[in-house]
Structure 1
Amino acid sequence: MTRPAARSAAARPGGNRASADRLARLLNLVPYLLARPGIEIAEAAGDLGVTERQLREDLELLWVCGLPGYGPGDLIDMAFDGDRVTITYDAGIDRPLRLTPDEALALVVALRMLAETPGVTNREAVERALAKIEDAAGDLVAAPVEVRLPVDSRRVEELRAAVARGQALRITYYTAARDETTERVIDPLRMLMVGGQAYAEAWCRRAEAVRLFRVDRIDAVTELDEPAAAPPQARPYDLSEGVFRPSPDLPLITLRIGRGERWITEYYPCERVEAGDGDQWLVSLRVTDLGWARRFVLGLGPDVTVAAPGELAEQVRAQAVAALEAYATPDAAPSATPAASMASR
């Protein structure tokens, strides 16, 4: 039997419908048709609440679904008699799902991780699903597995509760880019997990803008006796491409790096990477400010030098010289020790 070519969802009318809704409908469609062999497509469409055209498109999609291998005898099959349809092979979809111990444990661990992730919109639903799976799996998931994210869970819960209550907060926050600690009053918007770090997104009254505050850099939190009052212009960040978004208005720095520091090009968004002399590369990237860039370069080691801008090169040189002078000037001449005597021989 020749199978009709399935059109892509984008090419179909209504192709932008939620994939989850269609998946649920397809999973329900097979047992429905198995219980009603030879049913008219018009009747089935009416029962399922879809148009005849949509039902035919769903049947076309089912026709290319099945078991791994996807050859004859693996795919769901059906027979058409005019406007009537009958499922002739269901690929086992009518059988209840049975999880192996490894599958059950993996699913439980994933749900526990999801429940602990800041920013989950419906945590209660995740916990209900987890409870049902743990109850059904029984001893399969009895292994002592504990899921903890690499964040301060107490502080995350404290902030999550404040967001849920809609209260304003006073926080003591360390800003790494400027190497300073400040006190701010914020109006929380939501909790997020990005790149393995937990963030509180909030309207900062000091900056008069939406800011992301890393939870591990919040030293203290006080819940104020006033509701959060973010202004209408407060809009959440688009974090689909990460927290840091390089832009032309940020400072551009160029570093000359050796082979051992090429990892920089994999961990930071670089605008330009060029081959230099020998094994050296010239790497250009945007930074939040030169203060952060200075500390970044000083922590990289001798295989990295600043090519531009000159202001950054001078800052790095000055701080390196100051550090060397501090090491070279002891507070007081220590008395001779056995180790010192041995070293002087």
Structure 2
Amino acid sequence: MSGPTQRGGGSRASADRLARLLNLVPYLLARPGIELAEAAGDLGISERQLREDLELLWVCGLPGYGPGDLIDMAFDGDRVTITYDAGIDRPLRLTPDEALALVVALRMLAETPGMANRDAIDRALAKIEHAAGDLADAPVTVRMSGTGDGDQVEALRSAVQRQRALRITYYTAARDETTERVIDPVRVLVISGQAYLEAWCRQAEAMRLFRTDRIDALDELDESAMPPDQAQLHDLSTGIFRSAPDLPLVTLRVGRGGRWITEYYPCEQVQPGEGEEWLVSLRVSDLDWARRFVLGLGPDATVVSPPELAVRVRDQAAAALDAYAQPASLSADPAPVAVGH
């Protein structure tokens, strides 16, 4: 009886402390040089607890977690002043739209197959629903688009169980094209909330992973699925994408707002550049995908190499500017876009 209660109490204490830390930075920003005793009294905690919170804040900050990324503060005796807030410059207050978005996201997460820590998700959802009040009961339909259509996933699972071949129409994002192919399905799996079908592709004559939400159409064939003996399941222990020496190597110069890519994509090298810039090198499956990726980063990324990618990005940016060009009578010149080479 005592074990679960203690774990639950620890989770609640951690959640309370997180909320306090998120509000502590903007509180101190509004009161530079405040005495610790006065701040502790305002916050309803002991001075010792406040000091422990400040010690924890000192190792919190933006991805990179080096000098210039972490929350910083200056002490003058028993007075404290925040000198760098890492973007936490206002109290944690959710707008109605933000609260509803969190409710929807947590409900979707709770419905993800195989999701761990379901109790933590349910507790967070309950707290936000309580805070949102009647808004949480707004008529919102939640569908797991990230794992594909539920009926389609079930149809794929059924085909795997009954070992039936399929004809599918599939959109390949890397090449921005839709193709039709016959496959021999092997298994359906969910990775990071996304459902995939692993199958032998007769067109490619190799094992392939198909995102279920990119399967536009599927037909079950009147023949058995028969992957050849040489078909080998993918090793997914390190994730979906596996870097290889023969894939194109892309080097980008990214600013602070683009550093997040080093947290989400396997990078071969990350080096400090000028000022707050980083030089990031990573392998990509296709330069067309890399072009769309760089354009999505906007001003936070500049192509260093390969030159071919810089040309593709520049041409796409120029075409976009031409499309948005205003008539001369409006005398509204589009802002220039600088793309490095």
Q: Normalising to structure 2: TM-score of the pair? A: 0.54
Equivalence for 1:292:
289
Give yes or no for contact 1:113–1:148 (8 Å, CA) kept in 2: no
Listed one character per residue, the Cα deviations across residues 47-96 of structure 1 (whole Å, up to 9, x for unaligned) are: xxxxxxxxxxxxxxxxxxx9999xxxxxxxxxxxxxxxxxxxxxxxxxxx
Letter of the 2:236 counterpart: L
**What is the SS of the residue equivalent to 1:299?**
helix
Q: Which has the larger radius of gyration?
A: 1
The structure where helix makes up a greater share of residues is 2
Equivalence for 1:156:
153
Equivalence for 1:227:
224
Equivalence for 1:310:
307
Distance 1:228 1:158 in 2: 15
Report the CA distance between 1:329 and its aligned residue: 6.3
Equivalence for 1:320:
317
Distance 1:269 1:188 in 2: 28
Distance 1:301 1:315 in 2: 14
Letter of the 2:241 counterpart: F
Letter of the 1:224 counterpart: L
**What is the SS of the residue equivalent to 1:170?**
strand
Distance 2:4 2:180 in 1: 58
Report the CA distance between 1:232 and its aligned residue: 0.4
Distance 1:225 1:188 in 2: 14
Report the CA distance between 1:113 and its aligned residue: 6.0
Distance 1:284 1:260 in 2: 17
Equivalence for 2:35:
none
Letter of the 1:242 counterpart: G
Listed one character per residue, the Cα deviations across residues 163-211 of structure 1 (whole Å, up to 9, x for unaligned) are: 1111000001000111111001000011111111100000000100000
Report the CA distance between 1:117 and its aligned residue: 4.8
Give yes or no for contact 1:195–1:242 (8 Å, CA) kept in 2: no
Equivalence for 1:191:
188
Distance 1:229 1:220 in 2: 21
Q: Does 1:179 pair with 2:179?
A: no
Distance 1:117 1:281 in 2: 36
For 1:260-299, what aligned pairs fall within 5 Å after superposition?
260-299=257-296
Give yes or no for contact 1:168–1:225 (8 Å, CA) kept in 2: yes
Equivalence for 2:118:
none
Give yes or no for contact 1:201–1:212 (8 Å, CA) kept in 2: yes
State the 4+ residue runs in structure 1 displaced beyond 2 angstroms: 66-69, 147-151
Distance 1:182 1:166 in 2: 23
Q: Which runs of 5+ in 2 are unaligned?
A: 7-106, 116-141, 331-341
Give yes or no for contact 1:187–1:229 (8 Å, CA) kept in 2: yes
Q: Normalising to structure 1: TM-score of the pair? A: 0.54
Cα separation, partners in 2 of 1:253 and 1:230, compared to 1, 3 Å: same
Report the CA distance between 1:248 and its aligned residue: 0.7
Distance 1:117 1:182 in 2: 31
Equivalence for 2:58:
none
Q: Which runs of 5+ in 1 are unaligned?
A: 1-65, 70-108, 119-146, 341-345
Give the CA RMSD over aligned residues: 2.9
What's the % identity of the aligned pairs?
A: 67
